[in-house]
Structure formats: structure tokens, C-alpha cells
Amino acid sequence: MVSADSLVQYAADAALAVDANLRVTAWNARAEELLGYSEADVLGAGCWSALGLILAGGAPLCTPDCAAKLCFSRCLPYTAQGCRCRHKDGHWVDLDLSSITIPQNGASDGVLAILFLRPAQGSNQASPPSTGLLRIFTLGHFGLVADSGGIETGGWHRKQPLALLKYLVTNRGHAIHAEVLSEALWPGVPVEQGRGRLKVAVHFLRQQLRQAGVERPVIETRQASYAIRRDAVWVDADTFESLAQEGEALERRAGPSQALPRYRDAEALYRGEYLEEDPYADWCVVERERLRERYLGILEKMAGLYATLGMFQDAAYQCRKALVREPCREGVHRALMGYLWRMGRRDEALAQFRACAQVLSRELGAEPSAETTRLYQRILQSSTNTKA
């Protein structure tokens, strides 16, 4: 029987194979020609990371828990037309995606599916099997994706229905009373007038989602309250949390090498702050800060795990990413100083202390802690080649 790897290597189109975790197990020369990445660049990476496909409106198509994964788990093929993928040199490539699934009782080499990429032709291929879910992206640029593709909300002539959806998503799992919603969306408006506006907003939102091909009712009414139906939506923040929790469980049970891939997947989903396009909406501030802290914690965990494995360059990189988001995080400055010192980069470690002291003074009117200062003194007194 022909192996899945052979099917990929001899395919006429750009092709890749993925396993049950959507990790790339094979990547052919045509894929390298099309996107610029060699097999060595992507082997073992999640296909969502390797491809990073987006829809025409900018909403992500590729995530660690995407619609394709659900289809493949049911032994169903997945297709998507009019996608865009970033080439290795930075330019965008317009693509159509198709796939075949590999029965797991065959000689599959652990491969779950083979994906084929073609330059977009505007073809009328069959749509992928329906998942019925509305996919909601809240981390970074807000986006909605139905089975039929991305939902363009920029042209909605009513703006409050979108704010209503965001409010309900933020409070998913809870039914919110109509008066609370109307006060949040139309502060100061009389109660009856607010209720009327809310009914109009709910009707408009349901109508727009139906027209976009969302099959399941997304918003349900519970007496005088409204709620998001959890079984009708996929929210990136939920998957972000799940991946982080899986990473923590694997860290306890199996160690750094098993936990790091889950943390990397979680990090990849955090494309930006929660509902970052609504910076002044006070009803999402708590969730935004919670998820931001969760993300920074993941970066710190990854840095520590890389250091445990002796991968100090990668550990330092995670620290730098955390400091871009939160420059006042003194513990991260201190960890970065230590990693740089361990790599023999004493001068950079000392410079990092000075950067830490400067930002703490400027932003908080504070000085580095005794612990950070002691580390600085140890590095200062060491020779250039001495490592901790």
C-alpha cells in the first residue's frame, strides 16, 4: 500500500500531511516552491502555524482547534476557497485548499489527512461539511467565521448589535438581564426605550448571522435575559485557556518537552489583547486583563522550561516578548539577565539591569528589588566568560 508520505511527495500540487494533532509530518517540494518554506522549516509544527491561512476579510482560518480538525476526526474532507497565506519572504499568496482523509485502520503512518494547496482559481468546488458553529475571534482583531466563510461586519449599518454580541461573548455561560444590557449599551437611556433598542439589536444580529449561513441559533432568550448558546459557538479565548491548562497538566506529568508544544499553541492563538478594538468598553476590561496576565504567564513558563532544557536563547526570546507587552515586569527582567549571563553575554545582562532600573523609575517611581540587585552584583563581579 502506498504510504501517506509518498502521496505527498508525488502529488502534482503543493501538499502536506498532518497527524491527529495537526502536526506536519510531510511537506513536498511544490509546497516549498509555493510558500518558500522547506520541509525542515515546518516538520513537526502545527499546520495552523506553518500555514496561518486567513480569509479575505482578515479573520483567521487556521487555529489549533479549527473546523478542519473536526472534519478530519470524522473522516470527512475539508475545503476552503479564497484563502491567503503569508509567503516566507513576506508577500501574500492567494490559495484554495482541499484535502483527503486517511482511514486510521489503513497503513497511514500516523497521518490523519493530506492537504493540497493550489493558487486561487475561483473554482466552484463543494463546500466543506457543515460544523454549524459560529467561530468567534476575540484575541486581537475581532472576527466572525461561519461555514460559508468570514462574516464581514464592517458594512453593518447598525453598530450596537456587534457590541451586544461582544458583551454576551464576554459573559458567555451567563444569562444577562435585558436592563443590564441596555444600560451597558445605551447608558442613561430610559428603561423602556433601552428595552426597545435591545430587541431591535437582537433581531438585527440574528438576521445577519442567518444570512451569513450560521445554522444554529446563537443567542437565546431566557425570560427577560439573553445569553450566548455555548454549543453554537467556538471562541478562541476558550481554546487559548484549554491549551494553557493542557500545558500545565503535561508540565506536571511529563516534563518540559511535552508541555512546550501546548504552550506554543496557546501563544499562537493570542494574536493581540482581548477585544483590542474596544479599548474604552469598561465591561471587557477585567477579561482583557485576565487573559493578558494569562498570556504573560505562559511566556514566563515557556522561558523557564526552555532554560530547564538548556535552551537559553529560546528562554531569552520568550522573556523579550513578555517585556514588549509589559516592560515593568521585574521578574522577567531578572530572568532575562540570568539567561544572558548563562550564555556568556555578561555585558548584555548588565545592560538589561540598567534597562530594568530605568523603566521601573520612569513608570513606577521605584528601584529594582534587592533580589534583582544581588543578581546584578554577582554578574558585575564575574569575569566575562563565567556562567552562573
Q: Which residue has the cell 482581548?
A: 274
- Answer yes or no: CATH 3.30.70.1710 is held by domain 4-119: no
pLDDT confidence bin for 148, thresholds 50/70/90: low
Domain span(s) for CATH 3.30.450.20 in the chain: 4-119
pLDDT recorded at residue 107: 46
Q: List beta partners, residue 93.
A: 85
Range with lowest mean pLDDT among 151-165, 235-249, 317-331, 354-368: 151-165
Distance CA 257, CA 8 (A): 28
The pairing of strands 134-137 and 143-146 is antiparallel
Average pLDDT estimate for 294-311: 97
pLDDT confidence bin for 125, thresholds 50/70/90: very low
- The structural architecture, per CATH, of the domain 131-321 is Orthogonal Bundle (1.10)
Domain span(s) for CATH 1.10.10.10 in the chain: 131-321
Q: Which one, of 35, 63, 41, lies nearest residue 131 by Cα? A: 63
pLDDT recorded at residue 123: 45
Q: List beta partners, residue 144.
A: 136, 151
pLDDT confidence bin for 141, thresholds 50/70/90: confident
Asked if the model's pLDDT at residue 358 lies above 50, the reply is yes
Average pLDDT estimate for 305-311: 96
Average pLDDT estimate for 241-265: 93
The pLDDT tens digits for 58-92 are: 678 888 878 788 788 878 888 888 888 989 888 88
Average pLDDT estimate for 41-46: 90
The backbone torsions φ and ψ at residue 344, rounded to the nearest 5 degrees and listed phi first, read 80, 15
**pTM score:** 0.78
Q: List beta partners, residue 111.
A: 19
Asked if the model's pLDDT at residue 384 lies above 80, the reply is no
Distance CA 33, CA 117 (A): 11
Answer whether 85's CB lies under 8 Å from 95's CB: yes
pLDDT confidence bin for 122, thresholds 50/70/90: low
Asked if the model's pLDDT at residue 217 lies above 60, the reply is yes
Asked if the model's pLDDT at residue 385 lies above 60, the reply is no
pLDDT recorded at residue 2: 60
132: left (phi over 0), alpha (psi -120 to 50) or beta: left
Could you give the 3-state DSSP secondary structure of residue 329? coil
Q: Which residue has the cell 501574500?
A: 92
pLDDT recorded at residue 124: 44
The pLDDT tens digits for 327-342 are: 999 999 999 999 999 9
Asked if the model's pLDDT at residue 212 lies above 70, the reply is yes
Asked if the model's pLDDT at residue 4 lies above 60, the reply is yes
Percent of the chain with pLDDT strictly greater than 70: 93
